[in-house]
Structure 1
Amino acid sequence: RLVLDIGLPLFGPGREALDTWALRRRTKPELAADGILPPIPGVFTDGPAADAILLSHAHMDHTGLLEFTDETVPIYASAGTSKMMLAGGIFAAQTELPRERYRELVATRPVRIGDFVVTPFDVDHSIHGAMALLVEAEGKSLLYSGDLRLHGRRPGKAELLLKSLESRSVDVLLMEGTHFGLPTENPTDELQLENDLVAEIERAPGLALASFSPQNVDRLIGFINAARRTGRLFVADVYTAFVMYLISSQTDVPDPVRDENIRVFYPHAFRRSCERRNRVKIHDQFLPSQIGVDELRADPARYVMLFRPSMLDDDFEGTLPDRCRCLYSYWSGYLDKPDWQKMKRALKEVDGDVVKVHATGHILEEDIVRFVEAVAPGELIPVHTFEPQRFEDHFPNTRVLEDGVPWKLG
C-alpha cells in the first residue's frame, strides 16, 4: 500500500477555517476522537504497515499528520520538499521530515516501491519542490496531480508532464479542484504580479513591507525583482534568508550573503530562541548582510522588507515608520484575524496602508478543464475541493468517492 500525502485539514465540514496551531498541540488520541486522524490501518492504527508515504509537497495540509504515522514507514519526497520542511520545522514549528525515514524522489526518475512503480514529475505550485505522482502496478496507472497551477513562473513544468503522458494511458486521475466552489478573486499570474508589485512600490513613499510566505519561491523572486526594478534593497528575515540559502543553487533565488542587493534582518523572536534551539550556526551565517531597525528607520524608502505582524511590537515597538505600505500576499481571510486587525490600525496611525497583491497557488477552473482533457483519464476522482460534484459538469467520467469507503480500480 502507498499513502499519497498525509495532511492536516485546514477547514471543517462547514467550510470554517480550523485553528491548525491548536490542532497540532493535541495528542494522537484526541485527534482520532475528533475525526481529524483517519483510522488507516498500518499508518495511524494497528495493522500491516504501508509500503511508503509519498509527499507531493511541503504544505501542512499535505504533511501535517506525518508525526503521528508508523515510524517504520519510509517517506518519499523531492529534495525541494525536504528543504522546505527543514526550514519550516526550524522557523515555523511546522512538521519536520525524519531524516532516517526520508527517501528522495527525483523528477521523471521511476522508483520501485513494493509492487508499485512511482514516477514523479515537477509541477508549479506556491511552494518549492512540488510534484505530481504517477503510480503504476499490474498494468494499471494512477496520476495524482498534487497541488499545481498553470499560471506560475514555470508553466513549462505542466507541459513536460503532459508530454510525458502522451505515450501512456492514465486509468485514474486524482485531480485537485480547489477553485471549484471558490471565487477566483486573484486570477493574476506571477509575472503580472511582479509588475503590480513594481507599481505599488513605486507609489510607496516610505518603507514597503512584504507580507508573504518565504517558502513561496515564485513570490519571493517577484518581490526581489520588484525591489531591484524600483531601486530598493530587499530585506529578508533570517527564516527567508535560510530558505534562499537552501535553494539558491537550484533556482533563480540569490544567495543572501553574496548578493549586495539583499540585507538580512534578525527579529527579536529569532534572537531569543537562537541558543535555546541550537540555531547559532544559522545566526552567524547571515551576519555579513545584517541590517537593524535603526538603519531601516533612517532611510525607509530605500527598502522592501519581509514583514509579519509579530514584528510590529517585537521589533518596531508598536510604531512603524511614517507612510509605510504593506504589500499583502496571502489568502485574504487572514486579514480578519486579530494580529492583522492590529497591524492595519498601526499602519493607519502612520498614514500607511495595506494593499492586496496576490496570485493563487492553485489551478484555475478553466485550466483544470484543459489539463484533464490533455491527460484524458479513464476515470477522474476529485480531491482537494469543497465541491467535487462540479467536476461532473465538465467530465462525465467523474467518480466522487466517500471518505473511508474503499474503491477498487479495474
Structure 2
Amino acid sequence: MEINIIRGQNQIGGSIIEISSKSTKIILDIGSNLEDKEIVVPEIDGLFKGEAKYDGVLISHYHSDHVGLATRILPDIPIYMGEKSYEIHKVSNEYMEREYLKEPKVFKVEEEFIIGDIKIIPYLCDHSAFDAYMFLLDCEGKKILYTGDFRSNGRKSFEPLLRKLPKVDVLITEGTNLSNNKIGKINLTEKELEKKGIEILEGNDRPVFVLMASTNIDRIVTFYKIANATKRLFLIDTYAGQITATIGGNIPNPRTFSNVKIFLTSSRKHEILENYKKNKISRDKIANSSFLMCVRASMKKYLEKYPEEFSFEGCTMFYSMWEGYKKQENMKEFLEFMKEKGVKIISLHTSGHADEKDFDRLIKKVEPKIIIPVHTENSEWFKRYENCEVICDKNIIKI
C-alpha cells in the first residue's frame, strides 16, 4: 500500500490524503484551505480534472477544511459521509444558498463497507462537529487508522472508542493543538464549561448572548443547559433552528423542546419560521423575556433594530469560538458594537481538538509502527514516541 499526503502536512486544514493499493485508490477528506477567501481547486488529475482515477472519497465530518472541495471533484467518483453529518452539511449550505453535495453514499457507525480491496470501518468520535468519524482501513495485510479531527473533552466518552480500536501499522493523526502556544494546556470539558457558565451568571437576571458556531452541537447543548439552570429561555435563529431540528432526538431544537424558541433575522427566511409555529418568538416578545440567545457576527443589523425600551446595558455575551476569529473584520465590528451597547464580553470556550494527553492515550492503545502527523503546524512533537517511526518530511510513504 501507498500513502500520499497530497495536502495537509505541516498545515492546519485543507487535508487531501490518498491511500492506494494495487487495484484501488481512495481519498481521505477533501478540504479547502482555511486561509483561502475563495475556494481554490488544486490541479489534481483524475480527481478534479480529466478522467476519474479514484474509487471513492471518505469525508470524516462537515467542516469546510475537510469537505470544502467535495462538490468540485469529478462526478464519477463516489463520496461517502455519515448520515447526520451529511444532513447538517446539506441544511446549512442550503440555508446559506451555497453549493452542497447531492446524494453521497451514507455509511453507518462501525458497519464495515468495502471500496475495491480496501475494507473500511467508521468509528464515531468526539469533535466540535456532530457525527464525526475516524476511519480504520484494512488492505493487503496492513491496518491504517485515520483520526480525522477528534478530542476527549466533549459529551461522548473517549474510553469506549479506545476500547474498540485495534493495534495498527500506521496512524495518520491530526495535531491541531500542538502549536507552541498551546503545549501544556489541558482542554476544559463541555461539562466544566457548563458549570463555569452557571457560576458566572449566578445572581444575574439580565439577558445573555452567546457568540458561537451554530454547527457546534455540543456547545448548543452546553448553553441550553446553562439557560435551563439560570431559568432563561433558550433562543436560536432560523439557521441554528433548522440544523438542530434536522438532528432532532435529544438535541435541543425548536420542533420538540418547548423552552427552545426560534426567531427570525431575515424576512427572506420567513417560510422556515412558519414550520415552528408553536415555538416561534417575535423581537418584541424577546425584548420582554429573560433569555439566553445564540448569535453570530452577521446578526449586527438584526440587533440594531431592537425596541428602544430594550437595554443592552448590563447584559453578558459569552464568546465561545476560536480566538483567531477576532482578527476578522466582521467579528471586530460585532464585538465593538456589543461593547458600545454596554454588553460585558466573557470568553467561555474549549477546543474541538485533542490535547497532549489524548494523543498519549490513543497511541498507547493502537501502538502504531508509523505515525504520520497531518492537520498540524508542529509535526516534530510526535517524535517523543520513540517506539514509532514518525514521518513528517515526505509526502509519499510505502507500507
| Contact 2:30/2:65 (8 A) holds in 1 | yes
What is aligned with 1:386? 377
- 3-state DSSP of counterpart to 1:257: coil
Counterpart Cα distance in 2 of 1:248 and 1:219: 15
The 5 A counterparts of 1:302-317 are: 302-317=290-305
> What is the aligned partner in structure 2 of residue 195 from structure 1?
195
* Long gaps (5+) in structure 2: 1-24
How far the C-alpha of 1:402 sits from its partner, in A, is: 4.7
| Structure 2 partner of 1:232 | 232
| Aligned with residue 283 of structure 2, among 293, 296, 301 | 293
Query: Does structure 2 retain, via aligned residues, the 8 Å contact 1:4–1:55?
Result: yes
* Separation in structure 2 between the aligned mates of residue 210 and residue 190 of structure 1, nearest angstrom: 15
Contact 1:85/1:94, CA 8 A, preserved across alignment: no
Q: How does 1:35-74 map to 2 (within 5 A)?
A: 37=42, 39-74=43-78
Instruction: State whether residues 49 and 70 of structure 1, in contact with CA within 8 Å, keep that contact through their aligned partners in structure 2.
Output: no
**SS of residue in 2 equivalent to 1:355:** strand
Distance change in 2, residues 1:349/1:68 (3 Å): same
Task: Tell me, in whole angstroms, the C-alpha distance in 2 between the residues paired with 1:190 and 1:209.
Answer: 18
CA distance in 2, matches of 1:207, 1:182: 38
**Contact 1:85–1:95 (8 Å) recurs in 2:** no
In the aligned structure 1, how far is the partner of 2:384 from the partner of 2:248?
Answer: 43
Which residue number corresponds to residue 28 of structure 1? none
- Residue 109 of structure 2 corresponds to 107
Which deviations, in whole Å up to 9, do the C-alpha atoms of 1:332-373 show, x marking residues without a partner? Answer: 111232223223332333322111100100000122122111
Identity of aligned residues (%): 28
Q: Name the residue aligned to 2:207.
A: 207
Task: Note if 1:267 corresponds to 2:265.
Answer: yes
Per the alignment, do residues 337 and 214 of structure 1 end up closer, same or farther by CA in structure 2, a change over 3 Å counting?
same
Pick closer, same or farther for the CA change 1:305–1:45 going to 2, 3 Å.
same
The 3-state SS of whatever aligns with 2:76 is coil
Q: Distance in 1 between matches of 2:202 and 2:215?
A: 25
Residues in 2 aligned to 1:95 and 1:169: alpha-carbon distance in whole angstroms? 39
Letter in 2 for 1:383: V
Which range moves more in the overlay, 235-244 or 313-322?
313-322
1:54-96 deviation per Cα after TM superposition (whole angstroms, max 9, x unaligned): 0000101000111211111111111121112012212345652
Asked if 1:8 corresponds to 2:32, the answer is yes
1:129: Cα distance to partner?
A: 0.7
For the 8 Å contact 2:211–2:294, the answer to whether it is kept is: yes
CA distance in 1, matches of 2:63, 2:69: 11
Question: Aligned equivalents of 1:118 and 1:92: distance in 2?
Answer: 33
Structure 2 partner of 1:117: 119
Question: Is contact 1:60-1:94 (8 Å) kept?
Answer: no
1:83-124 superposed Cα distances (whole Å, 9 cap, x missing partner): 12012212345652221xx11111111001111110000000
Higher relative contact order (CA 8 A, sep 6+): 2
Q: Given the superposition, is the C-alpha separation of residues 343 and 203 from structure 1 closer, same or farther in structure 2, using an over 3 Å criterion?
A: farther
Alignment of 1:142-157 (within 5 A): 142-155=144-157
- Could you say what secondary structure the match of 1:122 adopts? strand
1:23 to 24, 32, 38: 38
Structure having the higher helix fraction is 1
Q: Mind listing any 5+ residue stretches in structure 1 that lack a counterpart?
A: 11-17, 25-30
Confirm or deny: 8 A CA contact 2:241 2:262 kept in the other structure: yes
TM-score relative to the length of structure 1: 0.85
Residue identity opposite 2:202 in structure 1: E
- SS of match in other structure, 2:53: coil
For 1:50 and 1:4, locate their aligned partners in 2 and report how far apart those are by CA, in whole Å.
11
Higher strand fraction: Structure 1 or Structure 2? 2
Contact (CA 8 Å) 1:323, 1:351: kept in 2 or not? Answer: yes
Q: Distance in 2 between matches of 1:292 and 1:45?
A: 49
**Residue 203 and residue 353 in structure 1: after superposition, are their counterparts in 2 closer, same or farther (change >3 A)?**
farther
- For the pair 1:258 / 2:248, whether they are aligned, the reply is no
**Matches of 1:402 and 1:105 in 2, distance apart?**
33
Q: Which residue of 2 aligns with 1:15?
A: none
Compared with structure 1, are the counterparts of its residues 290 and 203 closer, same or farther at alpha carbon in structure 2 (3 Å cutoff)? same
Instruction: Look up the match of 2:8.
Output: none
Letter in 2 for 1:285: N
Match 1:331 to one of 308, 319, 322: 322
Change (3 A) 1:396 1:86: same
Question: Is 1:364 matched up with 2:388?
Answer: no
